[in-house]
Amino acid sequence: MKKATHPAWTIFGILAGATLALSACAVPQRAAMPAAPAAPTAPPKGAPLQSIGEGEGQVDIVAWAGYIERGETDKRFDWVTKFEADTGCKVNVKTAATSDEMVALMNEGGFDLVTASGDASNRLISGGKVQEININLIPSWNKIDPRLQNAPWHTVNGKHYGVPYQWGSNVLMYNTEVFPEPPKSWDVVFKEMTLPDGKSNKGRVQAYDGPIYVADAALYLKFHRPELGIKDPYALTREQFNAAIELLREQRKIVGRYWHDAFIQIDDFKNEGVVASSSWPFQVNLLRAEGKPIASTIPQEGATGWADTTMMHIDAAHPNCAYKWMEWSLNPKLQGDLAAWFGSVPVVLEACEGNELLGPDGCKINGLDNFDKIWFWRTPTTDCGDGRKECVPYHEWVTNYVAVIGGR
């Protein structure tokens, strides 16, 4: 189980810089021989692979908790063992708790793939840390939900920098013994109040410790303070951003813990008296599987969410195994099993039918019809989306949220 770390260390993920210039490196020409063909030229660094060869024996992946399972937690959920047997590529996984941590790990190097959310993927692309993917080497590409094939969080100037993996929404997880009815508003985690059990929520609620959580506060204000004029929770003017930070400062007074480790949050709900928090369906599913009085809802204000992409490092040491994994990740059995395990939605819609673990209504239950209602994570920039370049960029989200958590 991953141990808890100080939130500041989690949040201070290294932000990718400006786009790196990539240059081609030509192989020196050999001396001309009468019947010899011209010497090949090495492809530019970052250019997509043109063919897949023998696997290198392993593939190293940075992934969200619960995304790559080999049956160790529950033997029914195992999509690694058969891949390893079929390809000879051993799967090594490094779990990351936030998008900033993923960016930091990919900046450091040593990994082939990462399951990046939208608030990391564009940073990795602009920072030159991931390479273009040759979708012609992904036979199952055409099975991907058309809404995701050219999504802006992995497609830039018509080039694909990854293979869609899963998507879903952040949910309000709550204790059903405290809330006989689902909470209608995110109020229960943003404002001090008396809960239905007659006790205060102070110290009994949590918030996510990634800076992208500022968008959750902005979405709440979009509903409750229309005079702020928030249209997009990731494109905030200075006034809108300041209002979101102030709401988070008020929330700080009632938060018992800022969570980033899914398993520690699970323990907090079981043993530390936590009764409500933003969460992922993954934690909800595991707690319910243990028979705990837990449920989840998307309140009236709506929800943020994630659409994750498997992206390949610019210097991947095991590119053949990496491509084999990306193709494997799209098989309907894996997609359906993962959706059942995590509470997410498959990117291959074929997976929604005939999966014993997911069930006939699993995709609908997990939010298949909510795609257009979710504000998917993305990295904030100065671009407000309406021609203005005065919105608050992500590095300020980071510094301000660190200050909030630190009580400043």
Are 273 and 393 in the same domain? yes
- Regarding whether 267 and 215 lie in a shared domain, the answer is yes
pLDDT band of residue 320 (cuts 50, 70, 90) is very high
Same domain, 271 and 386: yes
Q: Please tell me the total count of domains within the chain.
A: 2
Residues 270 and 393 in one domain: yes
Looking at 33-47, 53-67, 175-189, which range is the least confident one? 33-47
pLDDT, position 25:
35
Q: Which domain holds residue 274?
A: 171-279+379-405
| Reported pTM | 0.83
Q: Are residues 150 and 179 in the same domain?
A: no
Structural domain includes residue 20? no
- Please tell me whether residues 163 and 190 are part of one structural domain: no
d(CA 43, CA 330) in angstroms, rounded, equals: 27
Residues 199 and 319 in one domain: no
Mind listing the pLDDT tens digit for each residue in 115-130? 999 999 999 999 999 9
Q: With contact defined as beta carbons under 8 Å apart, do 327 and 123 qualify?
A: no
* pLDDT of amino acid 407: 85
Per-residue pLDDT of 290-313, as tens digits, reads: 999 999 999 999 999 999 999 999
Tell me if 274 is assigned to some domain.
yes
Residue 74 belongs to domain with CATH number: 3.40.190.10
Q: Is the pLDDT of residue 314 over 70?
A: yes
pLDDT over 90 (residue 31):
no
For 62-105, write each residue's pLDDT tens digit: 999 999 999 999 999 999 999 999 999 999 999 999 999 999 99
What is the per-residue pLDDT for 385?
87
Please determine, for residue 197, whether its predicted confidence score (pLDDT) is greater than 80: yes
Q: What is the pLDDT of residue 44?
A: 65
390 and 252 co-located in one domain: yes
Band the pLDDT of 20: cuts 50, 70, 90: very low
In a shared domain, residues 111 and 158 = yes
Mean pLDDT estimate for the chain = 90
Same-domain pairing of 102 and 77: yes
Q: Is residue 34 part of a domain?
A: no
